[in-house]
Amino acid sequence: MNPEARQKFDAIKDTRISQVAALYEELFDERCQSRNRQFLLRRIAWKLQARTEGGLSKKARLRAKAIASTAPIRTTSSDVNSGADLHQRSANSSVDRCDSTPGSLIEGAFQGRPFRVMVMDDGFEFESTRYVRLSDVAMQICGDREQAESFFANWKAS
C-alpha cells in the first residue's frame, strides 16, 4: 500500500465504527450494512490499495464473473447441520448448467481415455451416474480439483 493510502487507513483504524462505516459508504458509494469492524477495515484497505495501485485487471474481473455465474448459490447457513439442505437446494437449482440443450453430448478424451457426458434436464450423466454440476463430472474423470476447474474449457457439444 502506498504511503498516502496507508496514512488514511491508519487514521481510521482506531476510530468509532460509525466513522469507519461512513468512510466505507464514501469509498464504495453504497450504504454500509455491516458493523463488523474487521470486515469493514479489510474492505476499506482493499479499496484504498486498488485506487492507488490499480484494481483487478479486465481479465481477472472477467474470470471472477465467469466463476461467480457457475458457482452454486448458498441458500442456508454454513453450519454443520445444514449441509444436506444446501446440497439439496443446489441440486434443484439451474445455476450450474452448461449452455447446451438437454440431450446433447460432451465428448473428449483425458489422458488417452475417451469420455462422453450427456446433458440432461436436471444435470449431467456420466457412466450411468447422474451429476448436478459439470465440475463434479470433471472431478470424476480426472480426479484432481485443479485440473477439474479447467477441464471442460474447450469441450464440444454435439
Please report which confidence band the pLDDT of residue 73 belongs to, taking 50, 70 and 90 as the band edges: low
More confident residue, 127 or 87: 127
Query: 11 with 32, same domain?
Result: yes
- Chain-wide mean pLDDT for the chain? 76
Range name among 16-20, 24-28, 65-69, 152-156 with the lowest pLDDT average: 152-156
Please write the tens of the pLDDT for every residue from 81-111: 444 444 433 333 333 445 567 888 888 887 7
Per-residue model confidence (pLDDT) at position 151: 66
Per-residue model confidence (pLDDT) at position 86: 41
Q: Are 100 and 124 in contact (CB under 8 A)?
A: no
The reply to whether 97 falls in a domain is no
Report the share of the chain in percent with pLDDT over 90.
13
The pLDDT of residue 18 is above 80: yes
Per-residue model confidence (pLDDT) at position 88: 39
| Maximum mean pLDDT: which of 64-73, 80-89, 115-124 | 115-124
Per-residue model confidence (pLDDT) at position 46: 87
Give the mean pLDDT of 102-125.
84
Query: 73 with 86, same domain?
Result: yes
The count of structural domains within the chain is 3
Per-residue model confidence (pLDDT) at position 94: 38
**Distances, alpha carbon 6 to alpha carbons 30, 54, 73, 114, in Å:** 23, 15, 35, 54
How far is residue 158's CA from residue 156's CA, in Å, rounded to a whole number?
6
- Residue type at position 39: F
Q: What cell was used for 47? A: 479499496
How far is residue 11's CA from residue 36's CA, in Å, rounded to a whole number?
18
Please work out, in degrees rounded to the nearest 5, the angle formed at the alpha carbon of residue 87 by the alpha carbons of 156 and 139: 40
Query: 43 with 68, same domain?
Result: no
Per-residue model confidence (pLDDT) at position 53: 80
Query: 112 with 152, same domain?
Result: yes
Query: 146 with 126, same domain?
Result: yes
Q: State which residues form the domain around 13.
A: 3-53
